Chain A
Amino acid sequence: MDSTLSPVPYGTLDLIILRTLDVLGTLHGYGIARRIEQLAEGGLILNQGTMYPALLRLQQKGWIKASWGASDNNRRARFYAITRAGRRQLAAETRNWTRTVSLINRLLAGES
């Protein structure tokens, strides 16, 4: 395995999906996975299928919504979009993440 690749950090997949949908608007599952790969520039190991349980979880919490529509290749596909509650959650998650990252950065800076 390529040592430069890292798995999706635990608990961040929800945040990544919410952010992707917030930025790009409505997307189907493949679109979301593709966008994440593009952003990670090949630095993340993500089995694309593992995204679907996460999508269901977010949907159950009311943070995203799903609807069936036609894709570019004219196939029936399920499209996901962020909801207002999802945006609020994204803002909260972003604050948490920033706080955590800065805390870890400070700790690492202190140690060095």
Chain B
Amino acid sequence: MSALRASMSRMLAMFSRRRTAFALDEEFRHHLELLTAQYVNDGVPQCDAEKMARRAFGGVSQIQDAYFDEHRFVWVDSFVQDVGLALRKVAREPRLLCATALTIGLGVGANAAVLDTAQQLLFRPLSVPHPRQVVALYHVNRKTGQYLSTSYPDYVNFRDELSSLEALSAYMRLPVTWTESNRLERVTAEAVTPNFFTMLQLRPLLGSTFVSYRRAQGWPLVAMIAESFWRSHLGADSAVVGRTMWLDGQAFTVIGVVPQSFETQNLGWTGQPMIWIPMDAIEIVQPSFRANNLFGNRNARFALMLGRLRDGVTLREAQAQVDVVAAKLAVEFPDTNDQVGATMFPAGRVKFYPAYRDTVTRSVAAFVAASGLIFVLSACNLITLLSQRMAARDRELAVRLSLGGSTARVVRQLLLEGILLAFPGFCLALALAWSIQLGINRFPKIFGIGLALDLKISWPLVLVVLACSLLMALIFAVIPAARLRRVSLAARLQDDQRTTSGRQRGWLRAVPAAAQVVVSAVLLAGALLVLRSVLRGETADLGFDRSRVLIVSLETMPRVRLTDGREAALQVARELSEHPGIESISIASIPPLDGLHQPISVWNGSDAEATLPADQVYVDTRFFQTMGIRILRGRNFVANDGESDEPVALVSESLARSWPAREAEGQQVIVTEGRSARKTLRVIGVVRDVKYRSPWNGDRPMVYRVDWVRSAFVPAVILRTVVDANQIARDIRQNDRALPTGVLMTSVKTGDDLVQAAVTPARTAAWFLGTLATLALIVAAVGLHSTLVYAVTTRRRELAIRIAVGGAPAKVALNTLRPTAILALTAVVIGLAASWVFTPLLAVQSPGVSAHDGMTLLAVAITLLLACCAVTALSLAKAAQTSPTEALRTN
């Protein structure tokens, strides 16, 4: 009890030191006065009495120290002193503080962001109870190895026959239009089987899941909404359950709210779903499903499957059962299921179509490698800083130890300095991680496919960043502390007189500097490769004249049933043609570089088996003129080609080359869209290859048709302007009164806009890698320079003697710097070899450029050599300035 009381008293005393000192002083003075008075009373003269009193009392300052040792916790006091000292020390070295903060921030921040993304994309299980039981089931074509979606009848078979699964659900993504009063918005929705949320064991935030409503009135026009949608669009209305919501013109009843903690099981479709509707509702929202009997057609593969394993069942056991069911279906339905198997994956491992796994993994690996290199760079930089600091601190530490400072206290102070240095690094790391995540969220295609990423700074991430920053800073602090045992004052004070120890430590500096050169070479190669790809994309000959082209994208308004979308687009075209400055106007089902394509198989009759993969576009007679696409042979479409009994087509050069011995014109091609809808077309002309899918890919064969099929789909309107396209684009955007009823204008893009949008993911990657490479290059140059300068300063005396005995200053300096310079050149060569290994990882980010692009590697080599030469020249100049007299005098 008394011990506790004493501790409390000491704790409180920490806050009253000044007051206590004052009171103690008063008490001591009083005591000394009384003691003096006593001696005076005993007959001692006043001045002697005062001396005797002081002697009898004892040393005042020692007693005060002893008093204060009792008065408070000594360790807290010394800790506060150490913190103060560390703060002053750190504040006196702002350059060191900045360098350490930057190093730690860069190394930790970049890695934290990239590794967190990798974890979310490739490893993190779904955010549902018992996530390891959740599995994804994909069909796979055994012949081609291609992954396939499932048809509804196949799903029903798997659902009913897989006893190893507790439940199996199917889902598909569909965009819907949400309307409320005057507000209209396209939102992402998912159609799911009613057991979807019960299979996931997900408890809704409000309301209930589909299973409970299955037999209720209003089924299937019910919907569940995401918590974020509920908050942003419905004002977090607590009475939302039962509320009516208009989706694609149909009234749906909200039955539940899905909590924010649930992240979509499929990141491969850009954007998290906001609304879930039962699959039974699709036939009402999209009548074509009923018209084409898509729920009864095994050929219509429109859904994906997600299930939950029963307790105790392993993935391997479940896969064995899946194989049996797939084999059975292949026998029963050979037309559709022959050679079609099915593969089961843990759901957390396939958050996007398995076919993209390689692409995404490769991209992620490239970013992990880049950030790993940055970590190496940071570590090297830290070692360089460390060796500088060691040299500066050795003497100070030796003096402190010689004066009786305890090793523990000195170590503690070094650790405190480390922590203080880590803090700005931690803040910087967090800021960097946040900005990188923001960049990735904004450009989800950076990993090759559009991903619905919602990266954010989470508490675990903050803690990891903090731990890593502290670890790095503590290593920074602990290494000099570990050397304390070896620090001897005499040795330290003599150190400047010797050159050997400087030489030994020189290696400690030179190797990290060389490693930095290697890292910069690799990052520079990556950045230049991606940049080259961006430049190629931007300046590519697209096959059409993009300079004065405008693409006006149109869409049908919800609740308006258009019978002929093409006619609506033609009407828009007629209206727009009255706008001044328009040279030509046309329509096309899919404009170039739009991200959409309509793949077909083309059989040209020259080989009994082979079909060619191609894309088809429906156009009109003025399309080639408007786009500026040259017709190489044959003729353009004419007015009544579209209504002709024998449909005609123009083909691209690359498709025309498939008739090696004959001219393409006049030949017949049979095009097949999906598994049906075959059509025979007569080729009437050949046009230039157009980079329709991407600015880098011009070899995709194209078929242009004019035999439009009447549908509600509204094609795009393409304009060629006489004047600046941007000006007309602005006019069109501001004035959309020309639109017919039921048609929305979604975008107006110039040719350059199309290209810029297409190269944006690559440009983001180039920006990211370019920033890292620039930083790496600067750090490497500084590292190399300080290594060379260090070599000069530690061997100043030796240099001075050599110059004094007649050596030419430049030659002597060159000899001194030669080992480090050779090491730097070796590092450049190693860096180029490392780039050779690294750059293939960036294949997705650098389309259109070979992974081992010679020009890029040459540019890297030249840049690094120039940097090394510049740094060496600077150091050489410094070394050559050595004055023998001055150097020998100061040493």
Contacts and interface: CB of A to CB of B under 8 A. Distances in A.
Nearest to A63: B2
Contacts of A49: 28, 31, 57-60, 63
A61 interface: yes
B67 A53 contact: yes
B34 interface: yes
A89 B31 CA distance: 27
B612 interface: no
Contacts of A77: 27, 30
Contact of A30 (B10, B23, B31, B69): B31
B27 A52 contact: yes
Most-contacted residue by chain B among A47, A56, A73, A78 (CB, 10 A): A56
A106 interface: no
Contacts of A57: 6, 70
A57 B9 CA distance: 10
Contact of A53 (B6, B33, B60, B69): B69
A71 B29 CA distance: 13
A60 interface: yes
A83 to B, nearest CB: 11
A85 B4 CA distance: 14
Nearest to A75: B30
A49 B24 CA distance: 11
B26 interface: yes
B5 A48 contact: no
Most-contacted residue by chain B among A30, A62, A71, A76 (CB, 10 A): A30
Given A53-B70, A60-B9, A48 B26 contact: no
Contact of A29 (B2, B6, B27, B58): B27
Contact of A78 (B9, B23, B71): B23
Given A48-B57, A48-B58, A78-B27, A56 B71 contact: yes
Contacts of A62: 2, 5
Interface in A62-108: 62-63, 71, 73, 75-78, 85, 89
A47 B57 contact: yes
A64 B354 CA distance: 79
Contacts of B24: 52
Contacts of A85: 2
B463 interface: no
Nearest to B53: A48
Contacts of A28: 30-31
A33 interface: yes
A56 B16 CA distance: 14
A13 B28 CA distance: 19
A73 B31 CA distance: 12
B704 to A, nearest CB: 96
Contacts of B6: 57, 60-61
Nearest to B34: A30
Interface in A12-70: 28-30, 33-34, 47-50, 52-53, 56-57, 59-63
Nearest to A71: B30
Contact of A52 (B2, B3, B37, B63): B63
Nearest to A61: B2
B55 to A, nearest CB: 9
Most-contacted residue by chain A among B24, B31, B57, B71 (CB, 10 A): B31
Contacts of A30: 30-31, 34-35
Given A53-B67, A53-B70, A85-B2, A48 B31 contact: yes
Contacts of A61: 2-3, 5-6
Contact of B56 (A29, A48, A56, A73): A48
B608 interface: no
A73 to B, nearest CB: 7
Interface string B6-50: 100110000000000001101110110111011000000000000
B30 A50 contact: no
B66 interface: yes
Interface string B50-85: 000000111110010011011100000000000000
A49 B67 CA distance: 10
Contacts of A63: 2
Contacts of B37: 73
Contacts of A60: 5-6, 9-10, 70
Contacts of A29: 27, 30-31
A38 B66 CA distance: 25
Contacts of A75: 30, 33
Given A53-B69, A56-B67, A61-B6, A76 B26 contact: yes
19 contacts: A30-B31, A48-B56, A48-B58, A49-B57, A49-B59, A49-B60, A53-B67, A56-B71, A59-B9, A60-B5, A60-B9, A60-B10, A61-B5, A63-B2, A73-B33, A73-B37, A75-B30, A77-B30, A78-B23
Interface of B: 2-3, 5-6, 9-10, 23-24, 26-28, 30-31, 33-35, 37-38, 56-60, 63, 66-67, 69-71
Interface of A: 28-30, 33-34, 47-50, 52-53, 56-57, 59-63, 71, 73, 75-78, 85, 89
Given A28-B30, A60-B70, 6 more contacts: A28-B31, A48-B56, A52-B27, A53-B66, A71-B30, A78-B27
